[in-house]
C-alpha cells in the first residue's frame, strides 16, 4: 500500500498549475514491486550489487487533479536504481 498526501502551504496560484492542481486530500493505493539485480565479486569477501526496482501504483487523481480537459494515465511508475556494497565475514 502507498499513501499519497497533499501537504504544504496554500498559495493563490500554485506552481506548475498547467500540469495539475494539488489538493489537501489523501489517497491510499495498492502498490506492486518488481525488480532485479546482479551481484559482482570485487575482492575475496567484497561484493557490489546493482539493481533496479519498479514501484507500480494507481495514479492518485484525488490528490493531483488534472487541469481543464487534460487527462492523466491510470498507472504511476517509480523506477529506482540502487547500488550497494557488502562485506562477508
Q: Please give the pLDDT value at position 82.
A: 97
Predicted TM-score (pTM) of the model is 0.74
Look at residue 77 and tell me if it is in a domain. yes
What's the pLDDT tens digit per position in 8-22? Answer: 777 777 777 778 888
Look at residue 52 and tell me if it is in a domain. yes
Decide: 33 and 51 in contact? Cβ < 8 Å.
no
What's the pLDDT tens digit per position in 26-54? Answer: 999 999 999 999 999 999 999 999 999 99
Look at residue 38 and tell me if it is in a domain. yes
Look at residue 16 and tell me if it is in a domain. no
Instruction: Answer positive or negative: Cα dihedral of 21, 8, 80, 57.
Output: negative
Number of structural domains found in the chain = 1
Query: Which stretches within 1-89 are classed as H helix?
Result: none
Look at residue 75 and tell me if it is in a domain. yes
Structural domain boundaries enclosing 41 = 2-7+30-87
Amino acid at each position: 500500500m502507498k499513501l499519497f498526501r497533499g501537504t504544504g502551504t496554500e498559495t493563490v496560484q500554485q506552481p506548475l498549475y498547467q500540469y495539475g492542481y494539488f489538493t489537501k486530500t489523501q489517497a491510499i493505493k495498492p502498490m506492486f514491486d518488481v525488480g532485479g539485480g546482479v551481484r559482482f565479486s570485487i575482492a575475496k569477501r567484497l561484493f557490489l550489487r546493482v539493481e533496479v526496482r519498479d514501484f507500480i501504483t494507481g495514479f492518485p487523481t484525488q490528490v493531483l487533479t488534472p487541469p481543464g480537459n487534460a487527462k492523466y494515465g491510470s498507472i504511476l511508475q517509480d523506477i529506482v536504481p540502487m547500488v550497494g556494497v557488502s562485506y562477508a565475514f
